[in-house]
Amino acid sequence: MPRDHLLLHPQRVPVTPLDASTLLLLRDLPDGGCEVLMTRRSERASFAPGMYVFPGGGIEAQDAQAGDDVVRSRDGLDATGRTAATAALRETFEEMGLLLAVHADGSPATQADVDALDRHAPLWPQLRARGLRLDVAQLWQIGHFTADRNLPKRFAVPFFVARMPSGQTPEPDNREQFEPVWVQPARALERFQARQMPMIFPTIRTLTRLAQLGSTEGVLAAVVNGPLWKHSPRTGLQSGKEARFTEDEAPYGELAMVCPDGQCLHPLDWQSEHPVPLRKNLLRLTAPNASVMTGPGTNSYLVGEAATGFIAIDPGPADAAHIQRLYDAAGGDIRAIVCTHSHADHAPGAFVLQQLCQDRGVPRPQIHGLPSAPTASASARFTPDLALQDGERLVLSAPPPPGQDLPVTHTLRAVFTPGHAANHVCLVLEEDELLFSGDHILNGSTPIVNPPDGNMDAYLRSLDTLDAICAQEEIDFILPAHGYVLGAARAVIARLRNHRLAREAKVLAAMQALPGGSIQDWVQHAYADTPQPLWKLAERSLLAHVERIQALGLAPAA
């Protein structure tokens, strides 16, 4: 198990979320788009006062108890979904006077049916008396939000979509909800940006998804096989202000690792001047070499603490100021240096750091890694002091602190992962179940595999190796050489592997369509979804795919 005492912030128990449900009612526009019904919450509401929202509210016991005599469900909708959908319809009726229901003969409820009902009296007896059933069968879940762990009041909310019932007019209760508004999702977002429609985070993200789907038919077609997302946002600091992120966004995994209980304390701004603590035994310093190839820069890591000294991972380019910052962050006590591979943005700084230690009169740390292969380019030639062995461990240790029996240890284990480079190594911090992935797995981009030193088949096999290790050792977090920490390690690896195989299928299709084509011809077809300025870079990985396709005997005859 990871060592909780090395978390940066004291553990806390987030507030338990309350169950609620909400409904997005859609109506068509002549141009093929759609509008969604929104309403403004009371300024006196205990949650999201004055905000524009979709109708909905808390799930109550009566929603689970509603029988088939007052609810029409459909096959495939489980009890939890049925209850949540029932609550969404009940709340929409109570708040907005809209009734998505059917008579015994299947005909929809009308405005006359709505007018005959008392919105402030129990609904089920009234439905029975008029032979009506809430039409849960017409609701489809589009997503689910569980509120951020840092909030004092939290809800877990499925979001449903349905067509607006024909012939009915929304009438707000003017107690909880006011000002019904039909608005196109994109227009609602514009009004939010103009500060004309204040909204909470889940509403904004849902409108963004709706705007991408376009028409009502497009929305309903997209959700027929299940929800499109399930989010529990996390909050970090950007430019000193709170910023929320969902699981599909780059900072999410880092926030989950550094602030697992939802503390809103972690800065996310990329900078090269100061070390960023990730755990009490782990610092990240990003080199000032941002580019299209390196993203925000090369991440150098320091593993250890004052009692044990530090191991430096990937000191980066030969940038004297960056190396000085690494040295200072470690208090000059660097016991070893490890390079994940020998590319120019990773390894040259190792020798500069080693020399700095020697010049300062402290013990000279040895450089560990794999020697570059003959296939390496001139800029990637590399000879470490000590060649790592697959599975070799580098251990930092110190005597037990006062009142404890066990010594302090930090153990890095080498895992050979050729593919991006022939001498690529990943590292596992065993006690804390963390994987340092070098360039084999990145956050925000797909690693380039550049023959002859790069090899696509080796790259994919190394991904399988890492997946097996993450499964066996319950590793959740990946610390890449470029970008934020990644969470859900095995899901990340699966997506990356699937992406590479999907790209390879496009490369094969290009080769089949243009059997006599050039690499440049094939790039235009296989990377048509990639901005053209990046095609030159894409040629490298395409060549690696071509070599693998040929080795597998799948290449078409010229």
- Nearest Cα residue to 538 out of 511, 514, 513, 504: 504
Q: Tell me if 173 sits within 8 A of 95, measured CB to CB.
A: yes
If you average pLDDT over residues 262-268, what whole number do you get? 96
CB-based burial, 116-153: b 16+ in 10 Å, e otherwise: ebeeeeebbebbeeeebbbbbbbbbbbbbbbbbbbbee
SS3 content of the chain, % helix, strand, coil (to 5): 30, 25, 45
Judging by beta carbons within 10 Å of its beta carbon (0-12, 13-18, 19+), is residue 435 exposed, middle or buried? Answer: buried
Would you state the pLDDT for residue 554?
86
Would you state the pLDDT for residue 43?
87
**CA 421 to the chain's CA centroid:** 27
Per-residue model confidence as pLDDT tens digits over 152-189:
999 999 999 999 999 999 999 888 888 899 999 999 99
Dist CA 251 CA 484 (whole Å): 6
If you average pLDDT over residues 230-246, what whole number do you get? 96
Residue type, 322: H
Per-residue model confidence as pLDDT tens digits over 481-506:
999 999 999 999 999 999 999 999 99
The yes-or-no verdict on residue 33 having pLDDT over 70 is yes
Residue 270's pLDDT band (cuts 50, 70, 90): very high
Cα 228–Cα 70–Cα 138 angle in degrees, nearest 5: 30
Dist CA 47 CA 64 (whole Å): 24
Would you state the pLDDT for residue 360?
95
Q: Among residues of the chain, what percentage have pLDDT more than 90?
A: 91
What is the end-to-end Cα distance of the chain in Å, rounded? 55
The yes-or-no verdict on residue 415 having pLDDT over 90 is yes
Residue 558's pLDDT band (cuts 50, 70, 90): low
Task: Classify domain 288-487 at the CATH topology level.
Answer: Metallo-beta-lactamase; Chain A (3.60.15)
Per-residue model confidence as pLDDT tens digits over 100-151:
999 999 999 999 999 999 999 999 999 999 999 999 999 999 999 999 999 9
The dihedral through the CA atoms of 302, 306, 307, 309 has a sign that is positive
Q: Among residues of the chain, what percentage have pLDDT more than 70?
A: 99
Would you state the pLDDT for residue 243?
96
Mean pLDDT (the chain) is 95
Element (H, E) at 352: helix 348-359
Residue 251's pLDDT band (cuts 50, 70, 90): very high
The model's pTM is 0.93
Q: Name the residue with higher pLDDT: 281 or 445.
A: 281
C-alpha distances in Å from residue 106, one per residue of 163, 230, 270: 16, 33, 58
Would you state the pLDDT for residue 189?
97
Place of tokens 């690696």: 544
Residue 91's pLDDT band (cuts 50, 70, 90): very high
Would you state the pLDDT for residue 277?
98
DSSP 16: P
Dist CA 467 CA 452 (whole Å): 25
Widest distance between CA atoms in the chain = 91
Would you state the pLDDT for residue 557?
66
How many residues in the chain?
Answer: 558
The yes-or-no verdict on residue 401 having pLDDT over 90 is no
Dist CA 281 CA 255 (whole Å): 17
If you average pLDDT over residues 539-557, what whole number do you get? 91
If you average pLDDT over residues 412-433, what whole number do you get? 98
Tokens of 271: 């900078």
Q: Which residues contact 433 (CB under 8 A, 6 or more apart)?
A: 1, 2, 473, 474, 475, 476, 477
Dist CA 163 CA 203 (whole Å): 18
Per-residue model confidence as pLDDT tens digits over 198-232:
999 999 999 999 999 988 999 999 999 999 999 99
Pick the CATH number of 18-232 from 3.90.79.10, 3.30.450.40, 2.40.10.10, 3.40.50.300: 3.90.79.10
DSSP 291: B
Would you state the pLDDT for residue 1?
64
Residue 350's pLDDT band (cuts 50, 70, 90): very high
